[in-house]
Amino acid sequence: MTFHVAPYLRGGVEYDQVAVLGIRVQGRHGVLEREREAGQLFLADVVVHLSTQPAAATDALEWTVNYSRLADRVAEILAGDPSQLIETVAEHIATAAFEFDRVECVDVRVHKPQAPLHVEFGDVTVTIRRDIRTADLTADKRIGSAAGLPDDPLDPGAAPVVRDSFDERPLQPVPALLAIGGNIGDVEATLRRAIHDLDRVPGVEVRSTSPLVRSRPQGGPEQPDYLNAVVRIHTALSPRELLDACMGIEMVHGRERTVPNGPRTIDIDIIDFAGLTGLALDLELPHPRAKERAFVLAPWAAMEPSATFGPVGRVADAAAALPEGVTVVAQVWPGRATPAPPPASSE
């Protein structure tokens, strides 16, 4: 049985798919009373969209969807309390799919091949797609402050609703600096893929990357050392749209936020956005702790030796003054030997 579904993209990143097709169960769904009494055959195809990269890197089931449990849950719904419409059954299945961690989107097709029609037919189906931006039931899983709203930055046709200066798009692309790091799994490979993902986001262009460095954890539970780098981009997005895109990429690569300052597959922070200064519940610019972090300032100074940063002045001097440094893992990384000219100042 074939169930072709369109790719699901978020922040310019195409998600992977895990499919369970042709789940067959006797159910009692239907408008007619005889359908609800006698029952008939129902089938369901379910495709969930998520990133499987963390699971592939760790070979651990908890980083993906257990398709056996998913199939059991779908079968429960097909065989469970009757609904009049298979549209309702499909919606219940979509809702159940979001009970599984890391699912960002689901496609569901429900088949009713024994429907009481008055003509010969092959099948009756209802097909739906739901994602975490549009499904009210998963509002707690939405990414960023704007996700799911009319100004959703991942909807290229949406017009922004300006609530504060962080929602204002620049008149032309402006420089911004991102810090990336992680300490779970194949970190260097994850960071490389994240940079590639950033470059695919509409309105974002990766201009240069710093050396890759190793740093000790700062706070939190005992955990492995981190690999870190900074990335110079130019962007036509608003600061909040950029934040949403970064958080989307984090989720694609298995970021969990269960333990404060705990280990993570990846972290992406906005350090500076064209020198903008501001404070909101979801974002502060420039990054309030960047001036204390050698794993930000040291690779930044190596990438852009003359760079300045409002809170500290010359970045190279501020990096040298910090008591704890970093260890360079790769001087030219990830293969961008000729960085773009740095901006004159971020003040």
CB distance 111 to 121 below 8 Å: no
- Which residues are designated catalytic? 112
Q: Catalogue all structural domains in the chain, each as residue range(s) with its CATH number.
A: 9-141 (3.30.1130.10), 165-330 (3.30.70.560)
Distance CA 63, CA 68 (A): 15
The DSSP bridge pattern shows strands 13-14 and 16-27 to be unpaired
> Could you give the 3-state DSSP secondary structure of residue 69?
helix
- The full 3-state SS of 192-220, as one line of letters, equals HHHHHHHHHCCCEEEEEECCEEEECCCCC
CB distance 116 to 35 below 8 Å: yes
- Show the tokens assigned to 146: 């704007």
Task: Determine the pLDDT at residue 141.
Answer: 36
Strands (E), 28-81: 40-50
242 closest CA partner among 212, 272, 265:
272
182 closest CA partner among 57, 13, 320, 15:
57
CB distance 198 to 233 below 8 Å: yes
* Rama region for 71: left / alpha / beta (φ>0; ψ in -120 to 50; rest): alpha
Distance CA 234, CA 247 (A): 18
287 closest CA partner among 341, 346, 203, 200:
346
Per-residue pLDDT of the chain (347 residues), as tens digits, is 678 899 887 656 788 999 999 999 999 999 999 999 999 999 999 999 988 877 887 888 888 899 999 999 999 999 999 999 999 999 999 999 988 877 888 999 999 999 999 999 999 999 999 986 554 433 333 333 333 344 444 444 555 566 788 989 999 999 999 999 999 999 999 999 899 888 888 889 999 999 999 999 887 778 899 999 999 999 999 999 999 889 888 888 887 766 777 788 999 999 999 999 999 888 899 999 999 999 999 999 999 999 999 989 999 999 999 988 899 999 888 754 333 344 444 44
- Show the tokens assigned to 31: 């408008």
Task: Determine the pLDDT at residue 62.
Answer: 83
CB distance 245 to 202 below 8 Å: no
The DSSP bridge pattern shows strands 308-309 and 313-314 to be antiparallel
Task: Determine the pLDDT at residue 345.
Answer: 46
CB distance 257 to 266 below 8 Å: no
Task: Determine the pLDDT at residue 2.
Answer: 78
